[in-house]
Copies of this chain bind each other. A is one copy, B any other.
Amino acid sequence: MTAEPFKIGLLGHGTVGAAFAELLPERADQIAATTGLRPEITGVLTTSRGTFEEILAASDLVVELIGGLEPARGYVLAAMAAGKHVVTANKQLLAHHGEELWAAAREHGVQLRFEAAVAGVVPVIRVLQESLAAAHVDRVHGIVNGTTNFILTQMASTGASYADALAEAQRLGYAEADPSDDVNGKDAAAKMAIIARLAFDTPVHLDDVRYEGIEQITQEDIAYARDLGLSLKLIGTAERVGEGISVRVHPAFLYAGHPLASINGSFNAVTVESPAITEITMSGPGAGGPQTASAVLGDVISAMIPPASTPETTQQLPVVADAESAFYLHLEVEDRPGVLAQIAQLLGLQGASIKSVVQQGTGSGARLVMVVHPMLESKFFAAVDLISRLDFLRGTPRAIRVLDEEFAA
């Protein structure tokens, strides 16, 4: 059967763009057989080649893989204004300008698809927008940055320091030469903004997302956690809190039974919780040229067949700054009577309930490692602030969140 051509304009030819240009012809026969249209790349825009206007004029659909805010935003808006569908992998663009872009897609009756912008080939966008279109989502947890998950997995499995694990990630291509936006949590924050927008049907901007990275994590944190049966991940959380929502990214320990605890290496995973369904977990490679290109291609095919537009939001939920969490707290103290009692009292004054505590001598001093049950973060940190001023404290207290106590053995 002869299939009509379906013309794709490709903006950007970096790792993902090149992988997409390689994947498309390999799968074109199969796509032509099932859709009746044969996709082909009719123009490629790079910094040295092509003009946007020429490529747009020759395209049925535009794939944006330039990244960054401008000129990507201008190109995507212009393509949609010209009646073309757009597929993008650009998380920063959507976390900053999502509402503007989705509104433009609705206005011009075109599709804007972005599976590859979040968690690579893990189909979290499609599942949130389609399978769970009418579900009341309570909470999403995600490991949405492969670089940091690789580094933390290395530290846990080899005993490497943060610096050595980062260097190994760079050597293997899992981290860029400048890894700042990965290791400081900003990349994950952009992805959680997009996830929260879809999960809760309310506008969420990158600025609404609090984030911490993994730069301060030490080998000792990970080793102690292991003694408590915990593993350490950089976790994105989007959840309903009262009448609002909280969206944040920070390192957190997970009990062995948690669905995200076994996600190792550069993989990504997302768990969606909703009363009607309990929870769905999805995992897979979160990055990589061929993997991301595969997610782009899935979107292209969906756009070639018919639409599924991102509907206008119907709610405007407040973003809540404070949230509840269980915590691991690690203190180095002088070994003298009454130390534990004073610390427990300061925690108790803020409403903390201690789940477990381990005390160890360290020669000249002692080490206290405790886990406290979920409590408001503001109250926990207020207690830690008071504890840090105690005269018998040696060094700074180390606090790390613990996810979902129900998975504890």
Judge whether A58 is part of the interface by a CB distance below 8 angstroms.
no
In the complex, identify which listed stretch (A239-247, A274-282, A388-396) lies at the interface while the others stay far away.
A274-282
Question: Given the known A-B contacts A27-B134, A31-B134, A127-B126, are A290 and B276 also in contact in the complex, defined by CB atoms under 8 Å?
Answer: yes
A305 contact set on B, CB distance < 8 A = 307-308
Some 11 contacts from A to B, beta carbons below 8 A apart, are: A30-B134, A122-B280, A123-B131, A123-B280, A126-B130, A127-B127, A132-B294, A134-B297, A259-B262, A281-B283, A302-B308
**Do A311 and B34 touch (CB < 8 A)?**
yes
A357 at the interface (CB under 8 A from B): no
User: A271-296: which have CB < 8 Å to B?
Assistant: 274, 276-285, 290-291, 293-295
Whole-angstrom CA separation of A293 from B314 in the bound complex: 24
Number of interface residues of A (CB under 8 A): 50
List of 7 A-B pairs having minimum Cβ-Cβ separation, nearest first? A280-B284, A34-B311, A27-B134, A33-B314, A123-B131, A306-B306, A131-B298
A314 close to B122 (CB less than 8 A): no
Evaluate contact between A276 and B262: CB separation under 8 angstroms. no
Q: A281 — which chain B residues lie within 8 A by C-beta?
A: 281-284
Among A35, A281, A301, max chain B CB count under 10 A is at A281
Residues of B within 8 A of A201 (CB): 30, 34
Judge whether A115 is part of the interface by a CB distance below 8 angstroms: yes
